[in-house]
Amino acid sequence: MRISDRYIGKQVLLGTVYAVLVLGLVLVLGSLFKQVRTLLVDQVAPIGLVLRFILNVLPYSLMFTIPWGFLSAVLLIFGRLSSDQEITSFRVAGMSLVRLAAPVFVIGAALSILCLWLNVNVVPSAKESVNDLLYEQVKRDPRALLDPGVVQSRFANQKVFVEGREGDALKGFHLYQTPPEKGDGDPAPQAYLHADMVSLVVDNEKQQLRLKLNDTFIETHKDDGSVEMAFAGEAEPYVFDIAGRKKRARSSAMTNQEILDYLAENPDLSKRKQVEFRSEITKRYSFSMACLAFAFVAVPLGLKTRRKDTSTGLVMSLILGAGYFMFTVISSEFKTDTGATLVLWAPNVICILVGLFLFRRARFK
């Protein structure tokens, strides 16, 4: 190993660690206040729950912060080396730009392997653990299931929205009952219920949340297409069972094998859902290669930045990182496995091809 390898490799590693820490802090805090805001503010969740939540969210944040931090570090470090004429000195000594960037590619490959292990083995279980933690707190205070202003979809084939709260009573209660999804497209609501006021009673013995409905309107859609409507001043208590939780099939919280088993056990699943689940496996492998792909494009782009203008490197990393991960959103719009796969692998291919072109240009400068 040459002195230049240790010199550049050390700076890239330290820069990546610092960037991951900063980005990770932002993402973890954002997830913390987004997902447990009600538990923190209204119900004063125990510090143990918050710490466990952070530990489980951290692996998921690394899926994004490691590639993004690596990209930022390479852009900033090679920008500084270029502005200080250190790149010129190395090249005068007979080192090509490709050889000079060898430590970057080695670190990028190592980080890609780390990301692959995280995305395949750690992140799915961490996401499921987050859901379990939130449910534990809900069992302590079932009223958290009906947080005003939030669409709740924790219940099987049901979505609930509450407009406001007055003490233990709820104002503007909306419940949408949907049939299990079959075939393509989103299923239409099977029933809709609205109540102006709802009083809550928690049955700790039966682990149930009982809702007494006042000024109720119910709209039911039958299989023949007809609609029935009913009005009631008071309705029988509506019961939510909180003794056990039926886990929803969420591809992001399932291992690769669990996804394959789920698809095999549910052959009637809609085509869109099948593509979504299979794309999750593809995404884990394609995004794991982000660090290696960024190594190709970040080195030549970093040579164009200047030490006195470090914001250029940061802006470039934000644009490249956002553009890369935006392909996830685009892939969800495709209804075929081929289209989704091509879109998910496209950013890696683009980064490598553009990087090779920029390396070739940089050789003659």
Q: What is the structure's pLDDT at 192?
A: 84
Q: What is the structure's pLDDT at 183?
A: 44
Sorted by sequence, the CB contacts under 8 Å of residue 332 that are 6+ apart come out as 276, 279, 340
- Buried b / exposed e across 210-247, counting CB within 10 Å, b at 16+? bbbbeebebeebeeeeeeeeeeeeebebbebebeebee
Q: What is the structure's pLDDT at 100?
A: 87
Q: What is the structure's pLDDT at 308?
A: 44
- Neighbour tally for 312: CB within 10 Å: 17
Distance from CA of residue 238 to its chain's centroid?
A: 34
Q: Give the closest residue to 73 by CA, choosing from 120, 28, 23.
A: 23
Q: In whole angstroms, give the CA distance from residue 68 to residue 72.
A: 6
Q: What is the structure's pLDDT at 169?
A: 79
The domain segmentation of the chain, as residue ranges, is: 3-139+251-363, 155-241
Ordered DSSP codes for 228-239: EEEEEEEEEEEE
Q: What is the pLDDT along the chain (365 residues), one digit of tens a residue?
A: 578 888 899 999 999 999 899 888 887 777 666 655 555 544 455 666 677 777 777 888 888 899 989 998 998 888 888 888 888 788 777 788 888 889 999 999 999 999 999 999 888 888 777 666 666 665 565 555 666 776 766 666 678 888 887 776 788 888 887 765 544 444 555 788 888 888 877 666 666 667 788 888 888 877 777 788 888 887 766 676 655 555 566 788 888 988 989 899 888 888 888 888 999 999 999 999 999 999 999 888 887 655 444 556 567 777 887 888 788 778 877 878 888 899 999 999 999 998 898 888 876 65
Q: What is the structure's pLDDT at 28?
A: 73
Q: What is the structure's pLDDT at 238?
A: 67
